[in-house]
Amino acid sequence: MNLAEKILAAHAGKNEVVPGEFISASVDMVLSNDITAPIAIKEFYRLGVSRVFDPSKIVMVADHFVPNKDILSAEQAKQMREFCHEQGIKFYDVGEMGIEHVLLPEQGLVLPGDVVIGADSHTCTYGAIGAFATGMGSTDIAVAMATGDIWMKVPPTIKFIYNGDLGKWVGGKDLILYTIGDIGVDGALYAAMEFTGDAIEALSMDGRFTMANMAIEAGGKAGLFHVDNKTQLYIKSRAKRSYLVYEPDVDAAYDRVIEYDVTSIEPQVSLPHSPANAKSVSEVGDVKIDQAVIGSCTNGRVEDLRLAAQVLKKHRVHSGVRCIIIPGSQQVYLEALAEGLIEIFIKAGAAFSTPTCGPCLGGHMGVLAEGERCISTTNRNFVGRMGSTKSEVYLANPAVAAASAVAGRIIDPEEVMH
């Protein structure tokens, strides 16, 4: 069995599972946020149960519209707060919260070998630490909160092997955009994506989180990485419970194996209106921008902010550009503060925010008007994703976004640094 099958078999109490098989699996963590939790809470009460199966295995995070932007978002947060208080569930609120998919690994709430489900499509982020993590609808979340179990079809696994050394300014975001550009937004539909190879071993944990996060943008059910020394170092200081590391069998079967030589890959930019519309930054042409957003569950970790600071240091944001930088959690905020990154951003003319999903989903803190263009380190650039249906979103890594904020148009970071 491969990695996904090993984890699912263990949680289904079976010796083995095969793709296409329907299983009932126990879950280690159930997650929801301020958009999806209210629906899950309503459905939970409709089931006629009074208590959740295990409060320590459920987390709710207010992150999409926080601090609350209007009465409706305030009501949603209040509903979560009250439910969590009643059930004894951990609720991450303003002041200690963060973007859910940055927060949970950082707090040691998700661990290798776990089955994690979340009422958010980017729950697949936790595959970076060797967990089987996937997004589900709020009704599935309600049932999991009540029973501790979920049912699903075992996905086939596609193995992605990345060979070679990454060039300057090229990281996890570029690898995943390049991959989605190659296979398409449905290239891994309902499949587990297993990422491996020399370039992956060289990738930092933050880079791996970025890749796993965007598995869903290729239609993936999950995106998984093997647990290595880097993972163990990341986990050891955070884990508050025991965990199991699973390894694929040497003769594991895969639906497909796709190999890439990453040596010549440039920083990638996904043009509107699809993550699959990826091009090398040198091929983008003269695209003027109105806004740059650096943050989100994809690229809101401290390494991402360091990259942006490296570019923005000794530079000013272009007078025609709004540059908005959002840390992924309070912890990331503190690290950015201690390292002097926030000072660099403010002096460069950028805005620095409390942690929030905010502009990524066109929520608040940077919604686009008609005809505006934004370069963003977020994960989606569908029509109307960040505001007006007549606006455009270009996806890129933090260095490209920061460089473009300085130049006023989409540009290779190397051009700004010289």
Q: What is the DSSP string of 240-284?
A: SS--------TT---SEEEEEE-TTPPPEEEPTT-TT-EEEGGGS
Beta strand residue intervals within 136-180, DSSP E: 149-153, 157-163
β-pairing, 256-261 vs 351-352, is unpaired
H or E element at residue 26 = strand 22-26
Q: Let me know: does 311 contact 403? Beta carbons within 8 Å.
A: yes
Which amino acid is residue 37, in one-letter code? A
Instruction: Specify the CATH number of the domain 3-260.
Output: 3.30.499.10
Task: Split the chain (418 residues) into runs of 10 and give each run's mean pLDDT.
Answer: 97 97 98 96 95 97 94 96 97 94 97 97 97 96 97 97 97 98 96 97 97 97 97 95 95 96 97 96 96 97 98 96 98 98 98 94 94 97 94 98 98 92
If DSSP codes are grouped into helix, strand and coil, which group holds residue 30? strand
Extents of the domains making up the chain: 3-260, 269-417
Distance CA 187, CA 217 (A): 9
pLDDT of residue 160: 98
* Secondary structure class of 347 (helix, strand, coil): helix
Backbone angles phi, psi at 33, to 5 degrees: -125, -175
Contact between residue 397 and residue 377 where contact means Cβ atoms under 8 Å apart? yes
Residue 279 dihedral angles phi and psi, to the nearest 5°: -135, 160
What does the pLDDT read at residue 418? 77
Q: Is the peptide bond before 226 cis (omega within 30 degrees of 0)?
A: no
Please indicate, yes or no, whether the overall pTM of this predicted structure exceeds 0.85.
yes
* 144, 8 Cβ separation under 8 angstroms: no
How far apart CA 148 and CA 140 sit, in angstroms, is 11
Specify the CATH number for 269-417; select among 3.40.50.300, 3.40.630.30, 3.30.499.10, 1.10.10.10: 3.30.499.10
Q: How many CB atoms lie within 10 A of CB 199?
A: 23
